[in-house]
Structure 1
């Protein structure tokens, strides 16, 4: 499939998930948001589950692009990471976090969903751990276990997602707490708070 078709289907899937949620989502809903017919969607993806697996892969690729940092500075890399996680997206639709949480809730029953979500979690932890490891090696950060810091930060981010959807809590509060944690853990003289 060409890039234009893929982009159209992924954008339509995003919009349909925002409008209908995971549980009520149909291939027709996605087709209605796309310039393609339902038959064309089935030509590229046999089932809704296959399409959603591709969508999760698309989200992971997009997230990878947002994490890309040109700088070697560990502090800047952590700031880029936090902005990728907590900053607004280009097409910020308020209902998408709900749909994503619904997909996460299906992970125990769908190996492919779990694998994609685990890959996203692993990529997040690697990004944080690598920045911490480099900062400790360069003596920019206090000695800290990079894997422990990464696990804590990513766990807080996952919790923030649930709190946003279930309780209506603004994720900026979690960002503030994560930045404070990083300051206390990595440097006794705070410089990380944006």
Structure 2
């Protein structure tokens, strides 16, 4: 049975808060009820099972992303592409968004075993790739992007950015993660972060060396720089900038992040609605 619009928002807010607090594996209908004014029995009145409710929540999150992207469809393609990249960035201080993504990652792990969850995950992946491809196509039509295979480039963008987000929430914020040999698997990204051409390898923690083993004039990336931020900046330099025709410049990622009213992992019912007003 469908619920009233206000009740729908309240329930979805409750799912969001409960997922941030408890994660997916141990989440119960009572946990969700505790995060909103609805009783457990009322939740079951609207949704027969916890799975029904969580699938509806996933659908809501995806629809929210689609709605936000459609509102910026008239913006210049270059700005839209930088905003798309920025959508995947979250900073170390954004602990609520990190908790939410941990819960989502748990749900994503059910994809191979749960057809309904996999259907929503496929919808999300398709929407992300189509969104990036549409921006690239618009940029080519407007003469600001070079001719490329838009579907292939969109798939590369999504795989890179989504992979960085997954890596950050599973392994941590910075560029660490030494192997048993003491050499990180992120040397290329680390080199990008230093801003010079030296390839970097890890020795002992805090001991940055060039690949010939000598201490170099290379500053280690700050530990509080988000991995998603580092990869986003590298993506703009290595993937997006080469697409630009001569004379076209990228907007600042910092300014773009400040202008984004919401990014992935924020409460889907807390931002501006389809008419651009803010829900209380």
TM-score for the superposition, normalised by structure 2: 0.64
Instruction: For residue 117 of structure 1, report the CA deviation from its aligned partner.
Output: 1.2
Report the structure, 1 or 2, having the larger helix content.
Answer: 1
Aligned position for 1:21: 23
181-190 vs 150-159, greater mean Cα deviation: 181-190
Question: What's the CA shift for 1:45?
Answer: 0.5
The structural deviation recorded for 1:124 is: 1.0
Q: TM-score, normalised by structure 1?
A: 0.91
Gaps of 5+ in 1: none
Query: Which residue is equivalent to 1:150?
Result: 154
Which structure is larger by alpha-carbon Rg, 1 or 2? 2
CA RMSD of aligned residues (A): 2.1
Aligned residue pairs total 193
Alignment partner, residue 102 of structure 1: 106
Larger RCO: 1 or 2 (CA < 8 Å, sep 6+)? 2
> Over residues 36-77 of structure 1, what are the superposed CA-to-partner deviations in whole Å (9 max), with x where a residue is unaligned?
000000000100000000000110111112323142521122
Kindly indicate whether residue 38 of structure 2 is the aligned counterpart of residue 36 of structure 1: yes
Contact 1:183 1:193 in 2 (8 A): no
| Superposition pairs of residues 37-186 of structure 1, within 5 angstroms | 37-68=39-70, 69-86=72-89, 92-169=96-173, 170=226, 171-186=228-243
Select between 114-123 and 176-185 the one with higher mean Cα deviation. 176-185
Deviates more, 1:94-103 or 1:162-171: 162-171
Tell me how far 1:83 sits from its aligned partner: 3.4
Q: Following TM superposition, where does structure 1 have runs of at least 4 consecutive aligned residues deviating by more than 6 angstroms?
A: none
Q: Deviations over 1:112-158 (max 9, x none)?
A: 11111111111111111111112223321111110011000110122
Q: 1:20 to 1:125 in 2, by over 3 A?
A: same
